[in-house]
Chains A and B, each alone.
Chain A
Amino acid sequence: MNLKTPLPKGIPECIFSLPFDIAENGEKTAGFLTADREQIHIYDSDGRELNNFSLDSFSAFEATRQIGCSMLRGKRKNDDKWQFFCSFTQTHYIRYAELAKILDYYANTGVFVDHSDEEEPVCPKCGLSLDGSSTCPYCAKKGSTVKRLMKRLAPFKKPFIISILLTAFSYACDLVAPTLQRYLIDDVVQVQDPDMELFLIIAGTILCLALIGTAIDFITRRININITNGFIRDLRRDLFDKTQELSMRSISRRTAGEIIRRVSEDSRTIQQFVTDNGKEMILHTISLVALVIIMFVSNWKLALLVILPLPIAAWLASKVMRILDDRNSRWWRKTVASSRYLHDMLSGIRVVKSYGSEERETARYTEISKEVSKAQKNIDCIWYILSPLLRYVIAIGEFLMLYFGASAVMDIEITLGEFVQFTTYVSMLYGPLEWLTNLPRVLSQAMVAAGKAFEILDERIELKDAEIPADKPIEGNITFEHVSFGYTAYNPVLKDISLEIKQGEMIGIVGHSGVGKSTMINLIMRLYDPTSGSIKIDGTDLRDMTSKGLHDQMGVVLQETFLFNGTVLENIAYSKPNATFEEIIQAAKTADCHDFITRLPDGYNTYVGEKGYNLSGGERQRVAIARAILRDPKILILDEATASLDTQTEKQIQTALNRLIKGRTTIAIAHRLSTLSNADRLIVLDKGKLVEMGSHTELMKKHGVYYQLVMAQRTTAAIKKQTVTA
Chain B
Amino acid sequence: MNEYKQTDFQIDSLRILDVNELHFTRLDSGYLDLEYKGNRYEQVSLTRLQPFYYLDTYISVSFKNDEDEWIEIGVIRDINDMSKEQHDLCAEYLQFRYYVPLITKVHSIRDNRMGYLFIDAETTAGRKRIAVNDWWTNFRVNNSGMLTVTDSDGNKYYIPHPEEMDRKSYRKLELFM
Q: A329 at the A/B interface (Cβ < 8 Å)? A: yes
Interface centre among A83, A137, A140 (most CB of B within 10 A): A137
Q: B100 at the A/B interface (Cβ < 8 Å)? A: yes
B112–A138 CB distance below 8 A: yes
Interface centre among A89, A327, A329 (most CB of B within 10 A): A89
B99–A451 CB distance below 8 A: no
In whole angstroms, what is the CA distance A279 to B80 when docked?
69
Given A128-B131, A131-B152, are A137 and B116 neighbors across the interface (CB < 8 Å)? yes
What string of 1s and 0s marks CB contacts (under 8 Å) between B133-177 and chain A? 110110000000000000111111000000000000000000110
B152–A128 CB distance below 8 A: yes
B99–A22 CB distance below 8 A: yes
Binding-face segment, A24-32, A108-116, A418-426: A24-32
A67–B153 CB distance below 8 A: no
Find B95's partner among A26, A128, A140, A336 (CB 8 Å cutoff): A26
A137–B131 CB distance below 8 A: yes
Q: A543 at the A/B interface (Cβ < 8 Å)? A: no
In whole angstroms, what is the CA distance A142 to B156 when docked?
28
A25 — which chain B residues lie within 8 A by C-beta? 92, 95-96
What string of 1s and 0s marks CB contacts (under 8 Å) between B54-78 and chain A? 0000000000000010000000000
- Closest approach, in angstroms, between the C-beta of B144 and any C-beta of chain A? 14
B43 — which chain A residues lie within 8 A by C-beta? 81-82
Q: B4 at the A/B interface (Cβ < 8 Å)? A: no
In whole angstroms, what is the CA distance A68 to B155 when docked?
5
- Nearest to A686 among chain B residues (CB) is B68
Q: B38 at the A/B interface (Cβ < 8 Å)? A: no
B98 — which chain A residues lie within 8 A by C-beta? 26, 66-68
A69 — which chain B residues lie within 8 A by C-beta? 97, 99, 155
What string of 1s and 0s marks CB contacts (under 8 Å) between A5-49 and chain B? 000000000000000001011111000000000000000000000
A253–B97 CB distance below 8 A: no
B176–A137 CB distance below 8 A: no
In whole angstroms, what is the CA distance A512 to B125 when docked?
40
Q: A93 at the A/B interface (Cβ < 8 Å)? A: yes
Q: A156 at the A/B interface (Cβ < 8 Å)? A: no
Q: B113 at the A/B interface (Cβ < 8 Å)? A: yes
B131–A129 CB distance below 8 A: yes
Given A89-B155, A129-B153, are A22 and B137 neighbors across the interface (CB < 8 Å)? no
B116–A26 CB distance below 8 A: no
- Nearest to B26 among chain A residues (CB) is A24
B118 — which chain A residues lie within 8 A by C-beta? 138
Q: A87 at the A/B interface (Cβ < 8 Å)? A: yes
Q: A458 at the A/B interface (Cβ < 8 Å)? A: yes
In whole angstroms, what is the CA distance A110 to B31 when docked?
28
Q: A567 at the A/B interface (Cβ < 8 Å)? A: no
Main secondary structure of the interface of B (DSSP, over half): loop
What string of 1s and 0s marks CB contacts (under 8 Å) between A488-513 and chain B? 00000000000000000000000000
Given A68-B100, A326-B111, A458-B114, are A83 and B29 neighbors across the interface (CB < 8 Å)? yes
B134 — which chain A residues lie within 8 A by C-beta? 253
Total interface residues on B, CB under 8 Å, equals 38
Find B29's partner among A26, A82, A253, A455 (CB 8 Å cutoff): A82
- Closest approach, in angstroms, between the C-beta of B37 and any C-beta of chain A? 23
- Closest approach, in angstroms, between the C-beta of B124 and any C-beta of chain A? 8
B113–A93 CB distance below 8 A: no
Which residues of chain A from 72 to 109 have any CB-CB distance to chain B below 8 Å in the complex?
73, 76, 81-84, 87, 89-91, 93
- Closest approach, in angstroms, between the C-beta of B1 and any C-beta of chain A? 9
- Closest approach, in angstroms, between the C-beta of A338 and any C-beta of chain B? 13
- Closest approach, in angstroms, between the C-beta of B71 and any C-beta of chain A? 14
A326–B96 CB distance below 8 A: no
A145–B30 CB distance below 8 A: no
B95 — which chain A residues lie within 8 A by C-beta? 25-27
In whole angstroms, what is the CA distance A69 to B43 when docked?
19
Given A66-B99, A82-B29, A128-B131, are A137 and B112 neighbors across the interface (CB < 8 Å)? yes
- Nearest to B138 among chain A residues (CB) is A253
- Closest approach, in angstroms, between the C-beta of A188 and any C-beta of chain B? 58
Q: A65 at the A/B interface (Cβ < 8 Å)? A: yes
Q: A242 at the A/B interface (Cβ < 8 Å)? A: no
Which residues of chain B from 78 to 127 have any CB-CB distance to chain A below 8 Å in the complex?
92, 94-101, 111-116, 118, 125-126
- Closest approach, in angstroms, between the C-beta of A106 and any C-beta of chain B? 20
In whole angstroms, what is the CA distance A454 to B43 when docked?
49
B133–A66 CB distance below 8 A: no
Q: A330 at the A/B interface (Cβ < 8 Å)? A: yes
In whole angstroms, what is the CA distance A571 to B50 when docked?
44
In whole angstroms, what is the CA distance A346 to B159 when docked?
32
B30–A67 CB distance below 8 A: no
Which residues of chain A from 666 to 716 have any CB-CB distance to chain B below 8 Å in the complex?
687
- Closest approach, in angstroms, between the C-beta of B28 and any C-beta of chain A? 8
A327–B153 CB distance below 8 A: no
- Nearest to A88 among chain B residues (CB) is B99
In whole angstroms, what is the CA distance A253 to B43 when docked?
35
B68–A687 CB distance below 8 A: yes
- Nearest to B143 among chain A residues (CB) is A364
Interface centre among A69, A73, A131, A454 (most CB of B within 10 A): A69
B92 — which chain A residues lie within 8 A by C-beta? 24-26
In whole angstroms, what is the CA distance A65 to B99 when docked?
11
B30–A24 CB distance below 8 A: yes
A137 — which chain B residues lie within 8 A by C-beta? 112, 114-116, 131, 133
B176 — which chain A residues lie within 8 A by C-beta? 326, 330
A83–B30 CB distance below 8 A: yes
In whole angstroms, what is the CA distance A454 to B114 when docked?
8
In whole angstroms, what is the CA distance A73 to B27 when docked?
14
A138 — which chain B residues lie within 8 A by C-beta? 112, 116, 118, 131
A455–B125 CB distance below 8 A: no
In whole angstroms, what is the CA distance A26 to B95 when docked?
5
A329–B111 CB distance below 8 A: yes
- Closest approach, in angstroms, between the C-beta of A716 and any C-beta of chain B? 13
Q: A333 at the A/B interface (Cβ < 8 Å)? A: yes
A330–B175 CB distance below 8 A: yes
B114–A90 CB distance below 8 A: no
Given A26-B95, A89-B99, are A68 and B175 neighbors across the interface (CB < 8 Å)? no
A91–B136 CB distance below 8 A: no
- Nearest to A130 among chain B residues (CB) is B152
In whole angstroms, what is the CA distance A336 to B68 when docked?
43
B68 — which chain A residues lie within 8 A by C-beta? 687
In whole angstroms, what is the CA distance A326 to B135 when docked?
14
Find B113's partner among A24, A26, A145, A253 (CB 8 Å cutoff): A145
In whole angstroms, what is the CA distance A26 to B89 when docked?
12
In whole angstroms, what is the CA distance A89 to B112 when docked?
24
A91–B133 CB distance below 8 A: no
Find B31's partner among A84, A91, A142, A329 (CB 8 Å cutoff): A84
A336 — which chain B residues lie within 8 A by C-beta? 136
A142 — which chain B residues lie within 8 A by C-beta? 113-114
- Nearest to B126 among chain A residues (CB) is A28
Given A83-B30, A93-B154, are A455 and B96 neighbors across the interface (CB < 8 Å)? no
In whole angstroms, what is the CA distance A138 to B112 when docked?
8
- Nearest to A27 among chain B residues (CB) is B95
- Closest approach, in angstroms, between the C-beta of B54 and any C-beta of chain A? 14
B115–A90 CB distance below 8 A: no
Knowing that A93-B154, A336-B136 are A-B contacts, what are 14 other residue pairs whose CB atoms are under 8 Å apart, sorted by A's residue number?
A24-B96, A25-B92, A27-B95, A28-B126, A66-B97, A66-B99, A68-B98, A81-B31, A81-B42, A82-B43, A84-B30, A90-B151, A129-B153, A140-B114
| Sampled A-B contacts (14; CB under 8 Å) | A22-B96, A67-B98, A67-B99, A67-B156, A68-B100, A82-B43, A87-B96, A90-B151, A129-B153, A131-B133, A138-B112, A329-B111, A329-B175, A330-B176
Closest 7 CB pairs of A and B: A84-B30, A26-B95, A69-B99, A68-B156, A90-B154, A26-B96, A90-B153
Chain A contacts to B: CB under 8 angstroms: 22, 24-28, 65-69, 73, 76, 81-84, 87, 89-91, 93, 128-129, 131, 137-138, 140, 142, 145, 253, 258, 326-327, 329-330, 333, 336, 451, 454-455, 458, 687
